[in-house]
A and B are shown apart, each in its own frame.
Chain A
Amino acid sequence: MKTVLKGASLFALTMLAASGSALAGKADDTLNISFTKELENVDGYFNSSREGVIMQRTVWDSLLYRDPETGEYKGNLATDWKWVDDVTLDLDLRKGVKFHNGADFTADDVVYTVNWVVDPAHGVKTQRNVNWMKSTEKLDDYKVRLHLKAPFPAAFEYLSGPVPIYPHEYYAKVGPSGMGQNPVGTGPYKVVSVEPGKHFVLEKFDGYFKDSPKGQPKIGHLDIRTIPDINTEAAELFSGGLDWIWQVPADQAEKLKEMDQFTVANESTMRIGYIDMDAAGRTGEKNPMTDVRVRRAVAHAIDRQAIVDGLLKGKSKVVDAACFPTQFGCTDDVTKYDYDPEKAKELLAEAGYPDGFTIDFYAYRDREYAEALANYLNAVGIKTNFKLLQYSALRELRMKQGTPMSFQTWGSYSINDASAIVSQFFKLGSLDTARDEEIKKWLDVADSSIDPEKRKEYYAKAFKKIADQAYWVPLFSYNANYVFTKDLDYTPTTDAIPRFFQMSWK
């Protein structure tokens, strides 16, 4: 038994070390990529997954482009833009751009796409991406006017992200499912074949317009497969069947790095983890979470630094405010709770729980982290009744009845603006567990003002109160590990959107 186990692990390691990347994709100019999740529909308006965002940036273009290095907005399909007033934006469009199917890009495509997606009857999956727009009108063949429903400071962020432009004649003909199966865009790669959810083959689009801010695609082919199991992924990597994998868990990434056979890159992402508590008492008046001292006790009970060091590793950081530090409006100047189990116990005793209490603790992902959190809570006397639900089931529960306590994460859809997180959850919506009128008022001001300084001021007010009242216990920011062949030149970005068009062979 003993020798068998020892033998087995030695065996596994030596054979990993022994294998090279004989079949690496550089030779046939194909980057072999794996996603761990099935992508439901390549049509970016009808998926809500990270893989969808990646495909959307690869196959299509939006009106604007935000440089991930500088954060500066550049023209993509638009060349120039100007606010007419708070709710009207005029855009000049780029000439000479062609879709993959040969059609010319004109104002008709923008008008059709925007007017189609803003209609709720068409069932665009992520309404927030489009429902701030009212309509578009064509001013001439290469000029459009965009009408907003209300002032929307984050408009550029959205226009440069989740609003890709589709060829109007084609989309009118095939609709979302046709677009999903035979995608046509203007982007740097065109889709050669699609097996829904399984396998996508992309080819460099030779007709990609020369002065795109995205740059020109360099690698000939992208071959994307879905491999759900990290072990299989790693095995494929070793056998040369894959050149690039990502979302590699910290432990595996560490081991792969030790072996020094691949490039292991780590970059932080905009996703943060937090504990959500039922401060408003939706699950019951006597719910201990309604007491601010209990919530503060929770904050003091958790050794966030140990979780970051032991579990998340990489570029993850402890966060104190309910936002990701680079987001516009985010501030670090809030109440901080250090790890102090004794203080947590004192606070609990003060609140009338000298012996602690038992409470339902929900989570939907990263079981490991949630389990570690539960263990910290148990240690100060908060006995957790741990429940891991599917995301949808937990969300349903939170919206209908609320949950006393849950481990949540939010990736802000890679929108580098605080509104993408705090305004989602603290404006008395069904997922607002604090239900603080004051915070809502501040956020309303911050969200709709177009004066950046005023926005910052009001967001700061909100973050301070959230921290002070410990409505959430912000925990840490996530990171992503990318493991790829040493032949590949690639640097990951904070927004966790791999840009294949910027990768090249060394």
Chain B
Amino acid sequence: MAKTIETVEAALSGPTPGQVLRGRIFGHRGLMFGGVVLAAICIVALLAPVLAPHDPYSQNLLARMQPPVWFDKGTWDHPLGTDHLGRDYLSRLIYGARISLLIGGVAALISGLIGTLMGVAAGYFGGKVDTVVTFIINVRLAMPVVLVALAVVAVFGGSLQVVILVLGLLLWDRFAVVMRSSTQQLRSMEYVNAARAIGCSTSRIVFSEIMPNIVNSLIVVVTLEMAHAILLEAALSFLGLGVQPPTPSWGLMVAEGKKMLLFEPWLIAIPGVALFVLVLVINLLGDGLRDVSAPENRN
């Protein structure tokens, strides 16, 4: 009798939550692919000085736009050819990974801080704070991002810092919206009420009760905004108002190769594909994380 009950219970109890999560992560192809490729890009970026065959800044005006190795005139000395100033394209691509990741990462960090702060404040305090924050979000959404970013960069001059700052200051809206609604939901939860009832300070409730519970959706938004920032930087650079040369940013490389699109399409294809892959894997990672953290809300 006791044995049968055990069997029944064994049949009922599934794998542990940890096992489930691990299973979901490793079973999710998009997530795995995104994670692995992104990790690879990060490693390449970190090891740039070791991996790059040439100095990404050293120019040779008499060896400009040499084609990659798979073209008839290509050589192994410059596996991906050289750019419009005769700089090694592969080396610039490798160093460019640092820039793109930096732009995406720091811009997402800044906007994440601003957005989360505003969203949590609005969601937690409600009332007038919420009204004000919602208004600010509305104002922000109504501002045409590309246009304002262009104008600001034009005013302050393009540089890595300015571009990162502008993107960081413009892309916080999604953070604010998501964090606001997540916090609103949590605030009415019993354990938050309980914490308040036993007299926990606001900051303690926010940091130990609210934050740990919104971190999942936060990470998903971080990936989305990272991808967004990288694409937007590329667009700004394409329009001539992004980071400044000789910085080897992929967006800038596309912009520099743009002029020769018809004649040397590989110049734009190489950084374009790199950009596409980077944004793709970040998105896959974000989608995957969302699936894994809340499988019932897929998409």
Task: Indicate if A touches B (C-beta under 8 A).
Answer: yes
Residues of A within 8 A of B (CB): 1-6, 8-9, 12-13, 16, 230-231, 234-235, 249, 251-252, 255, 303, 306-307, 309-311, 367-368, 370-372, 374-375, 378, 386-390, 393
Q: Which of A1, A9, A12, A386 has the most CB of B within 10 A?
A: A9
The reply to whether A375 and B263 form a contact with Cβ atoms under 8 Å apart is: no
**A contacts with B: majority SS:** helix
Bound complex: CA A6 to CA B159 (Å): 34
Partner of A5, one of B68, B157, B244, B262: B68
The reply to whether A371 and B157 form a contact with Cβ atoms under 8 Å apart is: no
Q: Is B51 an interface residue (CB 8 A)?
A: no
The reply to whether A371 and B261 form a contact with Cβ atoms under 8 Å apart is: no
Partner of A12, one of B244, B262, B273: B262
Q: Is B5 an interface residue (CB 8 A)?
A: no
* Residue of B with least CB distance to A231: B261
The reply to whether A251 and B244 form a contact with Cβ atoms under 8 Å apart is: no
Q: Which of B11-19, B59-67, B166-174 contacts A (4 or more CB under 8 A)?
A: B59-67
The reply to whether A5 and B85 form a contact with Cβ atoms under 8 Å apart is: no
Chain B residues lying within 8 Å of A393, measured Cβ to Cβ, are 154-155, 157
Known: A5-B70, A306-B62. A371 touches B263 (CB 8 A): no
* Residue of B with least CB distance to A370: B245
Bound complex: CA A293 to CA B61 (Å): 27
Chain A residues lying within 8 Å of B67, measured Cβ to Cβ, are 9
The reply to whether B70 and A2 form a contact with Cβ atoms under 8 Å apart is: yes
The reply to whether A390 and B154 form a contact with Cβ atoms under 8 Å apart is: yes
Chain B residues lying within 8 Å of A6, measured Cβ to Cβ, are 70-71, 266
Chain B residues lying within 8 Å of A249, measured Cβ to Cβ, are 259
Chain A residues lying within 8 Å of B235, measured Cβ to Cβ, are none
29 example contacts (A-B, Cβ-Cβ < 8 A) are as follows A1-B273, A2-B68, A2-B70, A3-B70, A5-B266, A9-B264, A12-B263, A12-B265, A13-B263, A16-B263, A230-B259, A231-B258, A235-B262, A249-B259, A251-B65, A251-B84, A251-B260, A255-B262, A306-B61, A307-B61, A311-B61, A368-B256, A371-B245, A374-B246, A375-B85, A386-B244, A388-B158, A389-B157, A393-B157
Known: A5-B265, A8-B265. A372 touches B258 (CB 8 A): no
* Residue of A with least CB distance to B266: A5
The reply to whether B64 and A310 form a contact with Cβ atoms under 8 Å apart is: yes
Q: Is B33 an interface residue (CB 8 A)?
A: no
* Residue of A with least CB distance to B85: A372
- Distance between A100 CB and nearest chain B CB, rounded to angstroms: 38
- Distance between A303 CB and nearest chain B CB, rounded to angstroms: 8
Q: Is B270 an interface residue (CB 8 A)?
A: yes
The reply to whether B85 and A231 form a contact with Cβ atoms under 8 Å apart is: no
The reply to whether A252 and B259 form a contact with Cβ atoms under 8 Å apart is: yes
Chain A residues lying within 8 Å of B155, measured Cβ to Cβ, are 393
Bound complex: CA A3 to CA B69 (Å): 11
Chain A residues lying within 8 Å of B246, measured Cβ to Cβ, are 371, 374-375, 386
Task: Give a binary string over B66-98; 1 marks a CB under 8 Å from any A CB, 0 the rest.
Answer: 011011000000000000111000000000000
The reply to whether A367 and B270 form a contact with Cβ atoms under 8 Å apart is: no
Bound complex: CA A8 to CA B158 (Å): 32
Q: How many residues of B contact A (CB 8 A)?
A: 35
* Residue of A with least CB distance to B273: A1
The reply to whether A251 and B263 form a contact with Cβ atoms under 8 Å apart is: yes
Chain A residues lying within 8 Å of B195, measured Cβ to Cβ, are none
Chain B residues lying within 8 Å of A4, measured Cβ to Cβ, are 269
Chain B residues lying within 8 Å of A310, measured Cβ to Cβ, are 61-62, 64, 86
* Residue of A with least CB distance to B63: A310
Residues of B within 8 A of A (CB): 57-59, 61-62, 64-65, 67-68, 70-71, 84-86, 154-155, 157-159, 244-246, 256, 258-266, 269-270, 273
Bound complex: CA A368 to CA B157 (Å): 17
* Residue of B with least CB distance to A235: B262
Bound complex: CA A6 to CA B74 (Å): 11
The reply to whether B266 and A8 form a contact with Cβ atoms under 8 Å apart is: yes
Bound complex: CA A307 to CA B62 (Å): 9
Partner of B59, one of A13, A367, A372: A372
Partner of B57, one of A234, A368, A378: A378
Chain A residues lying within 8 Å of B59, measured Cβ to Cβ, are 371-372, 375
The reply to whether B266 and A9 form a contact with Cβ atoms under 8 Å apart is: yes
The reply to whether A231 and B265 form a contact with Cβ atoms under 8 Å apart is: no
* Residue of A with least CB distance to B264: A9
The reply to whether A251 and B62 form a contact with Cβ atoms under 8 Å apart is: no
* Residue of A with least CB distance to B159: A387
Chain B residues lying within 8 Å of A303, measured Cβ to Cβ, are 61
Q: Which of B59, B71, B159, B258 has the most CB of A within 10 A?
A: B59
- Distance between A426 CB and nearest chain B CB, rounded to angstroms: 27
Excluding A252-B263, A306-B62, A310-B62, 6 further A-B contacts by CB distance (< 8 Å) are A3-B70, A5-B68, A5-B266, A9-B266, A307-B61, A368-B85
Partner of B61, one of A255, A309, A367, A386: A309
Top 9 nearest A-B pairs (CB, nearest first) are: A310-B61, A255-B263, A2-B70, A375-B59, A371-B245, A306-B61, A231-B261, A5-B266, A9-B265
- Distance between B154 CB and nearest chain A CB, rounded to angstroms: 6
Known: A386-B245, A389-B157. A234 touches B70 (CB 8 A): no
Known: A5-B270, A12-B265, A309-B62. A388 touches B70 (CB 8 A): no
Bound complex: CA A37 to CA B61 (Å): 28
- Distance between B248 CB and nearest chain A CB, rounded to angstroms: 11
Chain B residues lying within 8 Å of A309, measured Cβ to Cβ, are 61-62
Bound complex: CA A3 to CA B85 (Å): 25
- Distance between B59 CB and nearest chain A CB, rounded to angstroms: 5
Partner of B259, one of A2, A5, A12, A231: A231
Bound complex: CA A371 to CA B68 (Å): 22
Chain B residues lying within 8 Å of A3, measured Cβ to Cβ, are 70
Bound complex: CA A203 to CA B57 (Å): 51
Chain A residues lying within 8 Å of B71, measured Cβ to Cβ, are 6, 9
Chain A residues lying within 8 Å of B159, measured Cβ to Cβ, are 387
The reply to whether B269 and A234 form a contact with Cβ atoms under 8 Å apart is: no
Q: Which of B62, B155, B158, B244 has the most CB of A within 10 A?
A: B244
- Distance between B292 CB and nearest chain A CB, rounded to angstroms: 30
Known: A5-B70, A393-B154. A387 touches B85 (CB 8 A): no
- Distance between A341 CB and nearest chain B CB, rounded to angstroms: 13
Bound complex: CA A370 to CA B70 (Å): 31
Known: A309-B61, A388-B158. A371 touches B259 (CB 8 A): no
Chain B residues lying within 8 Å of A231, measured Cβ to Cβ, are 258-259, 261-262
Bound complex: CA A251 to CA B270 (Å): 19
Chain B residues lying within 8 Å of A390, measured Cβ to Cβ, are 154
* Residue of B with least CB distance to A362: B157
Bound complex: CA A322 to CA B154 (Å): 30
Chain A residues lying within 8 Å of B68, measured Cβ to Cβ, are 2, 5
Chain A residues lying within 8 Å of B259, measured Cβ to Cβ, are 230-231, 249, 251-252
